A = this chain, B = another copy of it.
């Protein structure tokens, strides 16, 4: 029997009525001849309520107990979904993590999958059950304690089950109808993509397109699980939503697939740092320890630049989220106080935003960067920092130009046109 995995997020199971809607979509797939594994999140708001109780009880909580409490939201939804399906004459059974058992590491709050044995669920399918409803976001440690996977873990659960059971596809039902070339709130020309490659999706997800959790896309890419993102609020059929898949499945891919952006970026520059081997480690080690997510890094060319010093000096620029600037400043000042680094001053610019163009076609097409810089120049937008990878080009610009930049780039790369 062909098998599908279907995952419903918090807003898709927010109340009994939404659960019924979701169950109808499951029943439709069963009617098409599939066995179905359904992964459910907690009803919207429930996990936050539980997290709030834990935080209020114990600010420095024991992660084992946090997991025991917080995982209960998904258990409730799983049981209610199984009951709803049974009411529709679809033979269904719910499974909590330990019942499968979903074996994970002991890293409570951020556990990783070790194994998902198929035997128990396969036995139920063999008995005539058509649907296994799994509480997402959780598992069980080697010590027999409940673990959770961290936020967004239900997407990851869905992909892991799709890999373990060789599912034909993994459908992620959410409150948006697919992946867009960019955020439609910024340009009405944004177009829903029919297909996107894993690599592109990863760049878009980590850059701010919050539809799919990054880790679930990584896992899908590794196990070649075809992921589909679609809306539980719409009528849907086999061609709905966006398919995230291997690039070989995408026949004619455009040079640029989408535009990502991040509004609250800061640019920090250490002016006149000694230019010696190991200086980057001396700077970014303390920042990492302080929990600063450094993104772009640029080091100026410094050969023969002494600026009156005895040894060569340079400037070091990096970006991070605005709300981490205070932590970054503190870490750098402490490093300077212990003489592990020396610099003249720290310049901080908190008025930045990041815009990125993403596309696997870039690998074989030159000129994307030039086209991007020209489009920005025509609008008079100054570029503060540039960073590139194999399939993306990111620039840091003044925050006030962010929308304008996205709109111009969307036009410049003709993203409103399909294929």
Residues of A within 8 A of B (CB): 16, 19, 50, 53-54, 56-58, 61-62, 64-66, 68-69, 72, 75-76, 78-80, 82-84, 86-87, 93-94, 96, 98-99, 120, 144-146
- Would you call A144 and B99 a contact (CB within 8 A)? yes
- Would you call A65 and B79 a contact (CB within 8 A)? yes
A54's closest neighbor in chain B, by CB?
Answer: B83
Given the complex of chains A and B, what is the CA–CA distance between A12 and B72 in angstroms?
A: 21
Given the complex of chains A and B, what is the CA–CA distance between A86 and B144 in angstroms?
A: 20
Q: A35 CB to closest chain B CB, in angstroms?
A: 19
- Would you call B68 and A75 a contact (CB within 8 A)? yes
Given the complex of chains A and B, what is the CA–CA distance between A93 and B84 in angstroms?
A: 34
Given the complex of chains A and B, what is the CA–CA distance between A96 and B61 in angstroms?
A: 19
Copies of chain A in the complex: 2
A52's closest neighbor in chain B, by CB?
Answer: B16
Which B residues are in CB contact (< 8 Å) with A16? 53, 56-57
Supplied contacts A16-B57, A57-B80, A65-B93, 7 more A-B pairs, CB within 8 Å? A50-B76, A57-B84, A64-B93, A65-B82, A68-B82, A72-B76, A75-B75
3 closest cross-chain pairs (CB), A and B: A69-B79, A68-B79, A58-B83
Which B residues are in CB contact (< 8 Å) with A61? 83, 86
- Main SS of chain A's interface residues? helix
* 18 residue pairs A–B, Cβ–Cβ below 8 Å: A19-B57, A50-B76, A53-B80, A54-B80, A57-B83, A57-B84, A57-B87, A58-B86, A62-B86, A65-B82, A65-B83, A66-B83, A68-B75, A69-B75, A69-B76, A72-B72, A72-B75, A98-B98
Given the complex of chains A and B, what is the CA–CA distance between A19 and B57 in angstroms?
A: 9
Given the complex of chains A and B, what is the CA–CA distance between A54 and B83 in angstroms?
A: 8
- Would you call B82 and A62 a contact (CB within 8 A)? yes
A73's closest neighbor in chain B, by CB?
Answer: B72
Given the complex of chains A and B, what is the CA–CA distance between A76 and B72 in angstroms?
A: 7
Which B residues are in CB contact (< 8 Å) with A80? 53-54, 57, 65, 69
Which listed residue, B68, B86, B87, touches A94 by the CB 8 Å rule? Answer: B68
Which B residues are in CB contact (< 8 Å) with A19? 57
Q: A212 CB to closest chain B CB, in angstroms?
A: 28
Given the complex of chains A and B, what is the CA–CA distance between A72 and B73 in angstroms?
A: 8
A20's closest neighbor in chain B, by CB?
Answer: B57
Given the complex of chains A and B, what is the CA–CA distance between A66 and B76 in angstroms?
A: 10
- Would you call B68 and A78 a contact (CB within 8 A)? yes
Which B residues are in CB contact (< 8 Å) with A57? 16, 19, 80, 83-84, 87
